[in-house]
Chain A
Amino acid sequence: MWGIVATMAAGLVFAGFELPRLKRAQLHKERLVFLAALGLAVTLNVLHALRIPLPSPFKLIEAIYGPIGKAFFAVFK
């Protein structure tokens, strides 16, 4: 619960910090990308705070490189 509140608050603070600067510099595409990236980050944080199981990047690496790695290092045992 506190994690969600804290993430939302952090997201608001970051947006308040960054958006005026980008607006002043007339970087419009950059503002959209910033909002998308912030939205993604906040979403991931909220999902994580709700303890929804998320896939580990290591599992993906293991699936791709695991067989090569195991076969390779088996030679040295």
Chain B
Amino acid sequence: MEKTQIGNLQFIVIACLFTIGDSILFIPSLVATAAGKDAWLAGLFALISGMGLLLFYTVLQRRYPRQTILALCDQLLGRYVGRAVSAAFVFVFLLLVASTLLREVGDFMATQILPNTPVQFIEMLFMLIVVRAVRGGAETIGRTAQIVAPWVLLLLVLLVLFVIPGSRISMIEPVLYNGVKPVISGGLQMIAVPYMEIASMMILFPLVRNDRRVRLNFVIGGALGGVILALVIFFCLANFGALIIRDSVYPTYLLAKKIELGEFLQRIEAIMAIAWMFSLFVKMAVCFYGTCVGAAHVLGLRDYRLFTFPLALLLLPLADMLAPNIIAYFRIAEYYPFFAGTFAVALPLALLAAGKVRGGRGRRREARVAKQK
């Protein structure tokens, strides 16, 4: 593992931007499909249970600080099983998340903002910047996140403020007309995207400078992003109602188009879209960094940078192969939580169980680390 380090503030903003990530673009539509008018309740439900998940991800870090999840696989599951499991985590989970992100960037830009540009060029340019960031290492990603985070947060707060005048509370009434079931269903489908994919940040945990504050900072960052997501879902519903949100693919962009302050401040949706490009970039950079570092770890190589260009080239057709169109693409929502949960929840649980069975080893290591301090 390399010796770059991420500061506390940088870690918070990475967690925040990762949570906002691609979720902000399509989550209102995804949740409204399942929960209808109560999608904002589903958003709250997902926010609360998501915080629980974030706490859960840091349990392994508490027990084994200074170890990546991949090294832990090797240590706790044995050489061969551990290698196979970490290979699955890298080449199935991280690579797939990265390709879905690329697909969403391409689709969003090509359908909403640059309709005459071939989608491959948009994806290529985006990948080029991500490759540059990943070659720079985790520290570069952290510093970039620190620079762009104020702008993203400022623009998103402005978005929420500007759409308050147009929202009507009658749009979300009656509350809980169909009972609690759709709320839970929508919430569970939502959890998978921001709060389970964030498990890829476990790769970054050992790189944080102050490993005692990882848990707190992770939850602060995740909560900040999660609150923004919940607010955006609420205002999407309160402005347009459940039917329009359900039928649109990028409801947040619809919301940004609605911003109009007097006659002079309008049509600033492209500026809002820039904020989402930043948050998408941070999520993509973390996932792609994890993929490259993980690939080097699985194959036992000393340099991870050699994977940046080939894997970036690999992602381009992979993103296009996922689904023929965006409607088919979102059909995955009903089983995606189980796929993501396999790697985000079941894998750390299995590692914890293996650590318990193997007994003293983990605790002895912890004692050694404590003694060194």
A-side residues, CB < 8 A to B, are 3, 7, 10-11, 14, 17-18, 22, 25, 27, 29-30, 33-34, 37-38, 40-42, 44-45, 47-48, 54-58, 61-62, 64-66, 68-70, 72-73, 75-77
In the complex, identify which listed stretch (B14-22, B57-65, B273-281, B311-319) lies at the interface while the others stay far away: B311-319
CA distance A37 to B90 in the complex (A): 15
How many B residues face the partner with a CB closer than 8 A?
37
Across the A-B interface, how many residue pairs have beta carbons closer than 8 Å? 107
User: A10, A40, A58: which has the most chain B beta carbons within 10 Å?
Assistant: A58
CB–CB A17/B339 < 8 A: no
* CB–CB A27/B323 < 8 A: no
Of B99, B318, B323, B329, most A-chain CB atoms within 10 Å:
B318
Taking CB atoms, residues of chain B closer than 8 Å to A70 are: 334-335
- Contacts known (A18-B309, A22-B306, A27-B303); A48 close to B317, Cβ less than 8 A: yes
Closest 3 CB pairs of A and B: A69-B335, A76-B185, A48-B317
List residues of chain B with CB under 8 Å of any chain A CB: 34, 96, 99, 120, 181-182, 184-185, 188-189, 295, 299, 301-303, 306-307, 309-311, 313-314, 316-318, 320-323, 329, 332, 334-339
Contact B310 A76 (CB under 8 A): no
Contacts of B295 in A (CB 8 A): 37
Whether A25 contacts B303 by the Cβ 8 Å rule is yes
For the complex with contacts A22-B303, A33-B306, 14 further pairs of A-B residues with Cβ separation under 8 Å are: A14-B309, A18-B306, A27-B306, A37-B314, A41-B310, A47-B317, A55-B321, A57-B99, A61-B335, A62-B332, A65-B339, A68-B335, A69-B336, A72-B338
B182 surroundings in chain A (CB, below 8 A): 76-77
Contact between A57 and B96, CB atoms less than 8 A apart: yes
Contact A58/B302 with A17-B309, A38-B313, A65-B338 known, Cβ cut-off 8 Å: no
